[in-house]
Amino acid sequence: MTIEAFVPLKTLTLTKHRLMSVLSEPARLALVVAMAEDVVTRLSQHPDIDVVHVICGEGWDARAFLQPPIRLWRESALPVSGLNASLDAVAQDSEAEGQLFIHGDLPFLSHEDLSLICSNAREGGAILSPDRYRVGTNALLRWRQQSFPLLFGENSFASHREAVRALGVDWSEIISEGLGADIDTADDITLLQEGAASAERVAMLGACTQSWRLAWGGLSGSE
């Protein structure tokens, strides 16, 4: 059974505004790009994922997303607007049995995390993977025959749980550090800072985010 991944990347200058109190604009934008490139790389290198659909808003350098099995979509070219509608529009163009929707701000995402999702999903159920606060949904896998809506946004994990339960969809929850540790707030940035991250944790980072740490230090007010 085929699985394809879908990664939404909103307009670059509009991302991660809650990090502005601890990072300069160049550091913030560089981090957003580094994390996204790491997530897409992990997905594209995983043998269970056949195609990686990257849906880009404005400001992204398309050259980072032009190598197979990546397929680039421009958000502005889609006939819809909004995160969920854009994801659904691209997913409708896919013939894959399994559709993995995953965010691009997961710097600790590992090959093993993706294997865990894919192996569990192959038992036939949907997969929901929350952030570490169990508020947002960082990854969601549904099969073609499972017609439940995408509800990414505020309190999306609770919304997705209610939707699958209401529709009687078989599902399971997967929790891991790589899937749960998104970087969204000033508190989250401490996961990347010098001295706060253990050597073992740093080793989990993707190559681009590793380079970001070397260039910016992950320190408050990086210039």
- Choices 3.40.50.300, 3.40.50.1360, 3.90.550.10, 3.40.718.10: CATH for 3-214: 3.90.550.10
Mean pLDDT by 10 residues, the chain (223 residues): 95 94 93 97 97 97 93 96 96 95 97 96 93 97 92 97 95 96 91 67 88 74 47
Residue 198: the pLDDT is 65
Residue 222: the pLDDT is 47
How far apart, in Å, are the Cα atoms of 154 and each of 56, 101, 114?
21, 16, 24
Calpha distance 39→59 (Å, rounded): 18
Residue 1: the pLDDT is 81
Residue 7: the pLDDT is 98
**Annotated domain spans of the chain:** 3-214
Residue given tokens 């309190």 in the structure block: 155
Residue 217: the pLDDT is 66
How far apart, in Å, are the Cα atoms of 77 and each of 72, 89, 141?
11, 11, 25
Calpha distance 139→176 (Å, rounded): 11
For 154-199, list the strands marked E by DSSP. 171-173
Cα Dmax for the chain: 51
